Amino acid sequence: MSNSKHRHGLRMVAFLVALHASFFASQAQTKLSPYHPGQTPEGAVYYLPKTALRISVLVEKTTYQPGDFAPYAQRYLRVADVSQEPKQSYRVTDVLVTPCPVPDSSKVYAVRFNPLTVASRMMLSGDGRLLGLNVDDVADVDMPPFFVPTPQPTMKEPRSLLNEEILSCGSTAKMAELTASEIYDLRENRSLLIKGQADFMPHDGRQMQIMLDELDANDRSLTSLFVGVTRRDTTEHILWYVPEAAPDSMPAPSTRQVLFRLSQLRGLVEPDDLSGAPYYIMVDDISQLPPAEPTAKKAKAKTESGIYVNVPGRMRATILEGINPILVQDMPASQFGRTLLLSGSLFNKRYTTRLRLNALTGALERLDADQPKKTFMLFSKKEKAMDDSPQRAHE
């Protein structure tokens, strides 16, 4: 009995030791949190941007639905080549390219705030790009608005315009004949109304326009029973493409890449879907910047303190349908340029420095460095002493 109690006590001790060890092990684990660039009490981390291409592709879908009297269009309305089979097709109507800034992960820098400097008011975008320093009225790049399709005109239901005589016909051919007669009557009434020979003439121009619109709407609706209905719908597809510079910072040869494909059955499809015809994108580095500094000087510059800004290059984006270019556009591109270090001496207490960067390229847009008035007064007194010196008077 005593042995069993002893074994039970050992089990309880072992359990408590294991529980205690697991508790402290859980407390010793490192707590990880996602990294977000921005300002902290000790300093700030910021990105410089690179240029991404926001490509808006407008694709028009055309749908054709044949009418009930399509086989009789040639006989009664003298309209030839009317298809009796439904059709569907797609085509690209427009391509718009807009340069937009995105953070460049290869250009991320940390700034540690110093009480002896004035670089503590850094203005950052939502994704951590540097917009300005010691300025308030900074604005990020506005995204272009989305495409808003034009409302489609509504058409009356054709069968709601057919009278009792037409609907009671025993054959489709007879129904087509009587419907064609109704269409010709509408056109004749419209002609008489325009000529002023109608039995009931409108009192004013507005009433006449209402009558003409009503006749035209009925004509289109009944005619669709013969020629069918064609509907066109335009949709916008947004694609993103980020050009990359050559690793050695030299102009890279232009290469074509499949941007998207267009299928006549499904519209815009993925680049690897071979059911569609390819549309290509080609980006050329057209920068004309002077040669970069040697590597040794770059390494030395990295040890210096200050604020980095971009010196952007330029690129040419070309969209091709097969081998035929449909859009060629030149624009600035930070990834085809290089960075410039603004010395930390510009941001000490001797100056009131205001820095503004271009939101798209990260290039220096404006830099104001004003000296305090006290320093300026000392300089003025020194100049006055030089003017009153004997040597100056002798001259």
Specify the range with the lowest mean pLDDT, choosing from 97-111, 130-144, 244-258, 265-279.
Answer: 244-258
137-179 residue pLDDT tens: 888 888 899 999 888 888 889 989 998 899 998 899 999 999 9
Rounded Cα distance between 181 and 164, Å, is 14
- ∠ CA 137-143-144, nearest 5°, is 125
Q: Is 201 helix (H, G, I), strand (E, B) or coil?
A: coil
Specify the range with the lowest mean pLDDT, choosing from 15-19, 253-257, 341-345.
Answer: 15-19
265-283 residue pLDDT tens: 899 999 999 999 999 999 9
Helices (H), the chain: 2-28, 73-77, 164-167, 172-195, 205-227, 295-302, 373-387, 390-394
Q: Which residues of 336-364 are buried (b: 16+ CB within 10 A; e: fewer)?
A: bbbbeebeeebbeeebebbbbbbbbbbbb
| Mean per-residue pLDDT over the chain, rounded | 79
Torsion angles phi and psi, residue 377, rounded to 5:
-65, -40
pLDDT at position 6 over 50: no
The pLDDT-based confidence of 115 (bands split at 50, 70, 90) is low
Residue 269 CB-half CA count within 13 A:
15
Are 364 and 316 a contacting pair, CB within 8 Å?
no
pLDDT at position 40 over 80: no
The pLDDT-based confidence of 122 (bands split at 50, 70, 90) is confident
pLDDT at position 35 over 70: no
Q: How far is CA 283 from CA 245, 317, 320, 327, 334, in A?
A: 10, 5, 11, 12, 14
Residue 101 tokens read as 């800034």
Residue 67 has what pLDDT?
A: 93
294-316 residue pLDDT tens: 544 444 444 467 789 999 999 99
Residue 250 has what pLDDT?
A: 53
Of 138, 142, 109, residue with least CA distance to 43? 109
211-230 residue pLDDT tens: 999 999 999 999 999 999 99
Of 359, 367, 366, residue with least CA distance to 49? 359
The pLDDT-based confidence of 1 (bands split at 50, 70, 90) is very low
pLDDT at position 391 over 80: no
Residue 120 has what pLDDT?
A: 60
Residue 211 tokens read as 């009558």
Residue 225 has what pLDDT?
A: 94
pLDDT at position 59 over 50: yes
Residue 204 has what pLDDT?
A: 86
Residue bearing the bigger pLDDT, 39 or 50:
50
What is the H or E stretch that residue 90 is in? Answer: strand 87-112
Are 101 and 359 a contacting pair, CB within 8 Å?
yes
Of 137, 97, 375, 67, residue with least CA distance to 259? 97
